[in-house]
Amino acid sequence: MTDADQYERIGSALDRFQEAHFWIHNMEQCYHRADQIRWFLNVFLKALDEVPQLVSMSLQNANGFAPWFREQKELLKADPLISTLSKTRDFVVHQNMLLPSSAGSVGITELRGMKLGLQLPIHPLEDSQDALIRTARVMKEHEDILGLITPDEDSLPAVHREWQLDDFDEELVDLCARAWLRMGQTLTEVMRWQGVEPLPLSLDCRHGRGDYRMFMMSREKLMELI
């Protein structure tokens, strides 16, 4: 059996794994849309949780694989991150919708982080744009202490937001990326068991950036919306 044949044997698991990769990028792109990021988180959890099941189904008839992979699944089960995300997935399926924690600062930016901001509660079902508009209306009615609607060519009104799951201090998308890489370690071991060179499984495409956490809007548009 060629290497290509061996990769094909676990093709469904690799495909689901790359699907989870796709949902990570969608969470970044929709970071400031409350519903969309929750929905993308849900499908990410689903895709990641299904990878070991698909591996088991694909190689269940391979001699010696079942007992070996049972140990690999026990290692995944013992991993606090993978275990908690799996339980979170079960909660979404059987009990209720998932509401990650949401925190943020509303203020102004000069494109190098927040220049001036105020920590404010942002409801998990509220878009960042709506949080910015809500705050700007208060500033307009009282005093614009944040400079949201005060003319300034060097800054933009902005929201710096961060999502988290209650069991972890780590930012949500970084957390999901770490879980994806951990699952990739298991797939790497599976390919080694098959006797083939593991495929490169990385998230270099993210480049360690966190700019997706910043939502910005021109003052002209903000004034139109308030």
Residue 190 CA, distance from chain mean position: 25
Higher pLDDT, residue 190 or 115: 190
Q: 3-state secondary structure string, 187-202?
A: HHHHHHHHCCCCCCCC
What integer is the mean pLDDT of 49-55? Answer: 96
Whole-number mean pLDDT of the chain? 91
* Residue 126: predicted pLDDT: 96
Token pair 């209306």 is found at 137
* Residue 167: predicted pLDDT: 87
Give tens-digit pLDDT for 168-195.
999 999 999 999 999 999 999 999 999 9
Q: How confident is the model at residue 92 (pLDDT cuts 50, 70, 90)?
A: low
Domain ranges of the chain: 3-98+167-199, 118-163+214-225
